[in-house]
Amino acid sequence: MKRRLILVFWMGVASCLAQNAPKAPAAPAAPSTPAADTGKSSDSGTASGSKESTSAGSDNQFLGKNVPFLDMGTDVVTWDGKMWNISNNRLLRARFEKYLVSAESTEKEYAEYQKIITQIIDKLSPEHLTSRAVDEAWAMLPKASNYAIDANLCDSLANAVYSVWLAKNQVDRLEQANGNLDRERDLLSWNAEASVKDSSVNQYNPPNDKVGQTAWLKDREMERTIRMQPYTVRIAEVEAMMKANRLKKEASDLQSKVEFQALLMQFFLQRRFQHVVIGTRFYRVIFGDGDNKMRVGNETAKAISNFSGMPPTLGLLESMANEAMRDVAEGVEAFTFLVEKKEMAGATDRLAEAFAVGEYMPPIRQLPREKKRQALDFEQKSNQLISALEVRDYTRAEDLVKEMQAVARDFDTSKPMAAIETARTVSAMHLSKARVAAASGDRATLETELKAATEIWPRNPDLAKISGSIFNQADVQQQALSDLQRLIAQKNYRQIFDDKVRYIAATALFPDQQEQLRKILDDMQLVESGIIRANEIAKAGNYAGAWENVERVFQKFPEDNKLNQVRADLTTQASDFVRSLRTAQKLERNSQVGSSLAWYLKAQSLYPTSEFAGEGIQRMVSQVMPDRK
Amino acid sequence: MVRRASSKPKPLWFITTLLLLAAALGGGYWLYQEVQDPYRVVQDLNIDIYMENANSLRGNVYKIEGTVENSLAWSPVKGRLFSFETGSSSQPGYVAVLVPPQLNHINIQKGQRFRIKVEVIQDGILQVVDMRKS
């Protein structure tokens, strides 16, 4: 928890400093009061800066956005309307993975560097502190800076110390100048006094009359003023110069402090805690006035105060740096222990926390790669699990959970499994609804449910299977419906009748087409019945009767091929009857009533029960005898 | 002594006699028939032509002989309409014959055979002018 607090503090201060950093150098430009008021001046300077920010509408902003907010309960940072988990961030994960795969820093160079750093810290420690030790420590800074791992930070620190020393020299010179000016002012005062003391101004007695006395006094006063004027003007100039020098000294002193503190704060934010310790120790030595108050912006001061409960001081910064170093060492120790216990989840978390705080600390840099690789394996799987959950690949996520459970005894599967099971259940529910919708022909619901199921679990194997079957079914159905419409247009009812099972299934969901098909099948049933009946009659040798049966059906369904074939066969077999009947019909159409009636009579003689002949005869008779009884 | 030739009947004469007798009988029958047919001067109806185009025969009078097949209809104004089977038994023909009301007195029943004098009237219908049982 403490480790996390440090991390959180680091983030908070980072944001605050980022918004206040530009204001710090401006603070020394304004001072005009003695050192005792410097803090106030700095604050006022910062306050004015804050005021400016407020007036610009950016008092609570970071990089032009709102200051990040961290929810300690969930480790979620909110910034600019976006949220991310600080322990689950792509950049942090990538950096941590890079660290896990890198070799430990056990080489000679790193050991030498650490030796120098340790020596510097040791030389600056209060128990060994001497002017010579300070000089030696300062001289070692460039040496430490020669190592790549240092990133020239020691050089920066050495330069900062040197700058302070130069500033100190300037302050000394200013003090010396002020001393000279002070002496000059004393001399000028004495000269002024002397110029009027021995002059003729005091040698003449005043007249006795009152008017004369008054005029005499005026003359003397004027004379005294004229004599002293050059001295008083010069004294005023000297005093002004002294005041200006005093201001310069104060400003120079304050600027040096602010710059040095800014550098220390920067080291802290860079998590270069060893450099923070070295810097704070240098600061105490080179300023030596006991003023350890940090001149930082209001937000940064507030963040430090909120975290520590105390106002920001160099001592606090150093103690936090020491605490961070201790914490990192403890984190690495915890990691090592948990790895031995095969509790990789906890181990990886501890190492990630320690890494976040003390990326450049020796315990982190010197951790053996073999141990890190165990964490790497778990971390990679963990990242893959996060990715799988992000893209809702729950099949992969479940596999990863199992693998992670195998390598990490302490891995908590409840959260990912809850997500996986929930997605499965909801997806299955939507798929069930989609199935029902498909069965009932509710296309809108089918699409909605399939879309919902896809959104929840895009790579759900059941989704592909079920949607495939639904759409295959839909394709077959669509094809059957298309064929049905084509056959209807062609009046090929025989084909429809032959494949009636297919079309009955296809039109099951379409009432209009179902009704159309029902009528076609009913008609075809009549055709089939007519053919069967004709065949039976023909079997009895009554070809004319058979033909007449077929002909009656044919008149309704002339397009049926099978019926046509049967009709053609029977026409041959009952040729006399058919010829008589057709001739009669032809003559009837030509208004040859007598001839037509004769042929109908002949046809009837060939097939006495012929309905066609009987009907024809009745029609003809009706023409001959419209009033028949 | 010369014997007198015997007079035996000669076959030629016998045959000739038979033929003559047959001819006489035939001629008699023909004559009888001719005398019996009251419409011997009327032309027979050509059934084939009638069945092909009855309208073309309109106004003509023919005679037919046939058996009553069926009664097709009756009208007080137009009379009775019967179907008759005419022609030979091997190649029968069928015609409808309209018996006008003037001939209502003639009893016509199915199976009866008649000699009929007909006129082809409008629509090619055969209307009876006169008819007698044969």
Summarize pLDDT for A381-431 with one digit per residue, the tens. Answer: 887 888 888 888 888 888 999 888 888 888 888 888 998 888 888 888 988
- Tens of pLDDT, residues A258-282: 888 888 888 888 888 889 999 988 8
pLDDT in tens, A143-160: 888 888 888 889 888 888
**pLDDT above 70 for A500:** yes
CB–CB of A284/A133 below 8 Å?
no
Judged on CB neighbours under 10 Å (0-12, 13-18, 19+), A81 is exposed
Confidence of residue A71 (pLDDT cuts 50, 70, 90): low
Q: Do B96 and A598 touch (CB under 8 A)?
A: yes
Q: Does the pLDDT at position A322 exceed 80?
A: yes
Name the least confident of A291-305, A375-389, A424-438: A291-305
pLDDT > 60? residue A28: no
> How far is A109 from A150, CA to CA, in rounded Å?
11
Mean pLDDT is lowest, of A74-88, A115-129, A500-514, for A74-88
Say which amino acid occupies A281.
R
Q: What angle do CA A276, A91, A13 make, to 5 degrees?
A: 35
Give the C-alpha separation, B111 to B69, whole Å: 6
Question: Are β-strands B79-87 and A61-62 bridged in parallel, bridged antiparallel, or unpaired?
Answer: unpaired
**Tokens linked to A351:** 């190492």
State residue A171's pLDDT score. 75
Beta bridge partners, B74, equal: B80
d(CA B83, nearest CA chain A) in Å: 8
Q: Given the cut 0.90, state whether the ipTM is greater than it.
A: no
Calculate what percentage of chain A has a pLDDT beyond 70: 83
Q: What share of chain B is helix, strand, coil (3-state, %, to 5)?
A: 30, 35, 30
Q: B77 contacts in A (CB within 8 Å)?
A: 627
Residues A1, A8 contacting (CB under 8 angstroms): no
Q: Is the pLDDT of residue A20 over 60?
A: no
> What average pLDDT does the structure give for chain A?
79
Number of Cβ atoms within 10 Å of the Cβ of A145: 20
Q: In this model, does residue A22 exceed pLDDT 60?
A: no
With a cut of 70, say whether residue A9 has pLDDT above it.
Answer: no
pLDDT of residue B7: 66
CA angle A278, A281, A284 (to 5 degrees): 150
A85 in B contact zone (CB under 8 Å): no
Most confident of A160-174, A176-190, A575-589: A575-589
3-state helix, strand, coil in chain A (%, to 5): 80, 5, 20
pLDDT for position B16: 92
pTM of the predicted structure, to 2 decimals: 0.45
* Residues of chain B scoring pLDDT < 70: 1-7, 33-35, 89
Report pLDDT for A70. 62
The answer to whether A601 contacts B98, with C-beta atoms less than 8 Å apart, is no
Q: What is the mean pLDDT of residues A311-340?
A: 87
Class of domain B47-133 as given by CATH: mainly beta
Which residues on chain A are in Cβ contact (under 8 Å) with B124? 592-595
- Reported as type and span, the H/E element at residue A85 is strand A82-85
**Distance in angstroms (rounded) separating the CA atoms of residues A546 and A585:** 19
Number of residues that make up chain B: 134
CA distance B112 to chain A (A): 17
CB A481 within 8 A of CB A496: no
Beta strands in A108-237 (DSSP E): none
Quick one: tokens of A183?
């002496």
Q: Which fold has domain A495-624?
A: 1.25.40
Give the Cα separation of A510 and A516 in Å (integer).
Answer: 10
Structure tokens that stand for B67 in this block:
């058996």
Domain boundaries, chain A: 2-169+251-367, 368-490, 495-624
Distance, CA of A196 to CA of A221 (rounded, Å): 10
CB A397 within 8 A of CB A386: no
Domain ranges of chain B: 9-38, 47-133
Nearest CA-CA distance, residue B117 and chain A, Å: 16
Write out chain A residues lying below 8 Å of B96, CB-based: 594, 597-598, 601, 620-621, 624
Looking at A309-442, list the stretches that DSSP marks H as alpha helix, in order from N- to C-terminal side. 314-340, 344-357, 362-365, 369-390, 394-407, 414-440
Q: Which of A587, A601, A606 should we substitute to test contact with B (largest number of B Cβ atoms within 10 Å)?
A: A601
Tell me which H or E stretch contains A304: helix A298-308
pLDDT tier for residue A199 given thresholds of 50, 70 and 90: low
Q: State residue A219's pLDDT score.
A: 81
**Interface membership of A625 toward B (CB under 8 Å):** yes
Residue bearing the bigger pLDDT, A72 or A483: A483
| Closest by Cβ to A621, choosing from B69, B76, B81 | B81
> Which phi and psi (to 5°) does residue A534 adopt?
-65, -40
